[in-house]
Each structure stands twice: as C-alpha cells, then as structure tokens.
Amino acid sequence: MSEEQPKTELERKAREWLKERGVTLNDIGELVYYLQSPYHDTLTMESCLLNVDKVLSKREVQNAVLTGIQLDVLAEEKKLESPLQETIDTDEGLYGVDEIIALSIVNVYGSIGFTNYGYIDKQKPGILKDLNDKSSGKCHTFLDDIVGAIAASASSRLAHSAANDEELD
C-alpha cells in the first residue's frame, strides 16, 4: 500500500519531521497491528497503514507532531532555559506535558484511544522502545508519546471502522 500524499504543507512537514527523527509510517503501523491484532483475525498491515494515514491527515495531529518534535530538537541543541532544559532532557517522570500533547491526538478518535495509548505507553513495543533508549544521544521526550498516540488513534479508528461506526476509507 502506498501512503497518502500530503494535502497541505503542514501535513507534508509533519510527515517529513517524523521520518527525519527516524520514525516511519510502517513503524507506527506495526504498533497499530500490535494493539489490534488480538481483536481482528483478518487484520492486515495495509489496513493499519491506511488508518495511520488518516490520523496523520488531521490538522490537530500535525500541529502536535511539529510542536513536540521542535521541543525535542531544541532540548537536544541545549537551547531551552533551565529548568525546562533539564526536565525535557531527562524526560522527567512528573513533567506530563509530553503526555498532554499526546492526549490531544488521542482525543480525536474517542475514549478507546485513551486506553490504547495508556497500554502502548506502558508496554513500549517496537519503535517506542527505540525512542525511549537514552543511549542514542537523541531527545525523544515528546516524540515517543506522539508516536504512541498516533498508533493509539489509528487503532481506535480501526476499531470504530470494524464496528461499522466509521468508513474505512
């Protein structure tokens, strides 16, 4: 399956920045598959990727992606003021703003997204494990939560589609 062509400059930039930070749509699709395969015997990666594309076509998702990635980059470059620099650098557990941005994405597809997000954030499968590896020298304080939220939202969209609440395409 080929991915959707971005319809706006904002969407193009959000997709580009995800890729530049080492996150592919296939990585996110694998997370969707991880979340939904226990509930769908005939689930395909194509269906997972279609739902990832649909989530990424939402303006509020694109804004969250760009905001979070920019904050991660600024932290990597040591361009934030203290104590925010250290808080984001270390992904301090009680900070919570990274999760709030992620929840703005999850909210797009209803309450099932919250449970999907909480589960995948705790499990950290696939790309989420890589993004949480502090030894890489990269700061992904926001990105790991954003990627998990995109996957949770795509998973929610897929679940609603399977229940005939929403069209698949």
pLDDT per position as a tens digit, 86-105: 999 999 999 999 999 999 99
The confidence band for 3, taking pLDDT boundaries of 50, 70 and 90, is low
Q: Where are the beta strands (DSSP E) in 23-153?
A: none
pTM: 0.93
Q: Which residue shows structure tokens 């969407």?
A: 11
Task: Report residue 22 as tokens.
Answer: 């080492």
Predicted local distance difference test score (pLDDT) of residue 167 = 47
- Tell me the Ramachandran region of residue 135: left when phi exceeds 0, alpha when psi lies from -120 to 50, beta otherwise: alpha
**Cα–Cα distance for residue pair 152/120, rounded to 1 Å:** 8
Report domain extents, the chain. Answer: 28-36+43-162
- What is the chain's mean pLDDT, rounded? 93
| Check whether domain 28-36+43-162 has CATH 1.10.3760.10, yes or no | yes
What are the pLDDT digits (tens) for 92-139?
A: 999 999 999 999 999 988 889 999 999 999 999 999 999 999 898 899
User: In which band, very low, low, confident or very high, does the pLDDT at 76 lie, cut at 50, 70 and 90?
Assistant: very high
